[in-house]
Amino acid sequence: MRTYDIERYLNIRSAYGASFSADGERLSFLMDTTGVPQVWTVDSPGAWPEQRTFYEERVTFASWSPERPEVAFGMDKGGNERAQLFRLEPDTGVIENLTEHPDAKHRWGGWSHDGERFAFTSNRRDNAVFDVYVQARNGTGTDAELVHEGDGWLTVGGFSPDDSKLIVQEAYSNFDQDVSVLDLATGELTHLTPHQGTVRFQSPEWGPDGENVYMVTDRGSDTLELVRYELDSGAFTTVETGGDHELEGISIDHDSRRLVYSRNVEGYTELTFGELTAPDRIDALPQPDLPNGVAGGVSFSPDGERAAVTVTASADTANVYVVELATGDAERWTLAATAGIPRDTFVPPELVRYPTFDGRDIPAFFTLPEESPEGETPVIVDIHGGPESQRRPSFSAVKQYFLSRGYAYFEPNVRGSAGYGKAYGHLDDVEKRMDSVADIEAAVEWLHDHPAVDPDKIVAMGGSYGGFMVLAAMTEYPDLWAAGVDIVGIANFVTFLENTGDWRRELREAEYGSLEDDREFLESISPINNVEKIRAPLFVLHGENDPRVPVSEAHQLVEEAREHAHVRELIFDDEGHGFTKLENRIEAYSQIADFLDEYVRSAPAADD
């Protein structure tokens, strides 16, 4: 089998985040051909795309105006997540900074239907909270009108069909949100979703007539369902249920009454397109002929006859497809390159379940390399972040690279992961945090029983909260690991909460516990306070500009851990929470590969 170096794999491209132009003739999308995502456009399936932005920093989204040949896009600097909003005229190349507040975050809230205004939320008034703004399309900087002062984590869900109101969503945690409607003429905010306890109200969308708001919620079930809220009566009606599976979101085209909603089935996406023929009736359209994987980012054409969708699969890169809604026929419009690596060399996973300490079965994706000698295959246990996230069957160049080098890949969705209902998502809350780490121990026990696996060559790797899980697994179960790789991970929950961005602290305390009430517990589970238990070599990587998990987490961990084990550290001065620049990704994963070759592949077998 021919092998390729990490640089080739990291030059595999992704195309995603499509948006139809006002005339329906072009798509904008993001693609990372230059090493970081930039705005591109294409006017037919497989045509040569045009690059429209040329920055060294990543572009985070792009959205065509509904009326003009112009695109709004967002971009931060050095991974600091303080995104600014810009307006691009693709035909002239003119770009204007719309927000001009580089120290503040700006979160896009959509165009008005006439294309004259756009909405966003920002923490420019107070770093700890987000306010709602509306701005003219040709306004800049302080031209934005503050239409609502918030006191938490706010996002805008879009303009009503007559552009007189906005949906405003507030998040208290990833499992607890509220939805309100803001009247732009009066400033009145109407709360739609009062509730007790934690309830998810997500993906709110205006109905076509502006009389209803559709959203997914678990207010009456364990899994997310699609509901309608009638503004006049204040009544909820269930429109569609997912059964044992979550309905993840909905998108509605107001003029055509076409819509799409998605179902999460063991990590795979099932899309349903339809037409809203009555407030609670959806007449389904033919199932789209799309690859089996993870799909999202739907954009309807102006006439509602087509929809652009981003699709990725474990063994195929992310690309944009356009679906003809009347027939379900889908055609790929983008051709994200695979750096000359044959697509048939990419290996798909097996969906497995393994038993854990309380009798529960934990879902996971397990991928064996093409050649897996019995009892000799090393394994990377790659733990997702969040923690309210989910490992799904999407493409990973890093994963395929390590598979090509003979490593197996194990990706567990331990308790607390999203996608499996409310009860499962709460199983790791606060005092139950370490139960999810015990699920990692159970994963390794399952791997020990697999005939292909070398039980002495198992690696823990993860980023962000997944980095905490790596460190916790290495301190709680030190004898299980041949090595660990911690990427932008949490080492000390107390210092993390003290130093994270002001806008995130309350949101994170809802999941992990508060500094005021749970400090002693947070100290007890912080890996930094158990670092002397680490036995295996550890590689710590971080970004200097990380606004979520401050780089101080890496520095204090390395200083303490070096007294007890071999520790390597790599800090990138121009990155934040993760690595987005191609040259940095190449350096990071080249060093990780060398580290694992030294301490795992070449390590002698342990004595019996």
**Measured in whole angstroms, how far is the alpha carbon of residue 594 from the centre of its chain?**
28
294/395 Cα distance (integer angstroms): 9
Dihedrals phi, psi of 6, to nearest 5 degrees: -65, -30
388/417 Cα distance (integer angstroms): 5
- CATH code, 529: 3.40.50.1820
User: Is the sign of the CA dihedral 186, 187, 188, 189 positive or negative?
Assistant: positive
Pick the last residue of a domain from 184, 199, 214: 199
Q: What pLDDT was estimated at residue 606? A: 41
Q: What pLDDT was estimated at residue 607? A: 39
Domain carrying residue 192 = 98-199
C-beta of residue 461 within 8 angstroms of C-beta of residue 402:
no
**Residues paired with 300 in a beta bridge:** 307
In terms of DSSP bridges, do strands 453-463 and 377-383 run parallel, antiparallel, or are they unpaired?
A: parallel
Sorted by sequence, the CB contacts under 8 Å of residue 522 that are 6+ apart come out as 493, 494, 497, 512, 513, 515
**Measured in whole angstroms, how far is the alpha carbon of residue 482 from the centre of its chain?**
29
18/314 Cα distance (integer angstroms): 20
Burial of 535 (0-12, 13-18, 19+ CB in 10 A): middle
Strand, coil or helix: what is 98?
coil
Which amino acid is present at 571?
I
Residue with tokens 């809220």: 229
The domain total for the chain is 2
C-beta of residue 169 within 8 angstroms of C-beta of residue 154:
yes
CA-to-CA separations, 424 to 223, 231, 388, 419, in angstroms, rounded: 10, 32, 10, 9
Residue by residue, DSSP assigns 412-455 as E--TT-SSS-HHHHTTTSGGGHHHHHHHHHHHHHHHHTSTTEEE
Does the residue 428 lie in any domain? Answer: yes
Q: What pLDDT was estimated at residue 1? A: 56
Does the residue 387 lie in any domain? Answer: yes
Does the residue 305 lie in any domain? Answer: no
- CATH code, 143: 2.120.10.30
Q: Helices (DSSP H) in 150-208: which residue ranges?
A: none
Does the residue 280 lie in any domain? Answer: no
C-beta of residue 224 within 8 angstroms of C-beta of residue 204:
no
The vertex-326 CA angle with 323 and 331, nearest 5°, equals: 25
Does the residue 89 lie in any domain? Answer: no
- Listed as ranges, residues in the chain with pLDDT below 70 are 1, 501-504, 603-608
Does the residue 147 lie in any domain? Answer: yes
Does the residue 287 lie in any domain? Answer: no
85/135 Cα distance (integer angstroms): 11
Helices 433-448 and 465-476 meet at what angle, rounded to 10?
Answer: 70
Does the residue 420 lie in any domain? Answer: yes
Pick the last residue of a domain from 199, 217, 251: 199
Pick the last residue of a domain from 179, 199, 219: 199
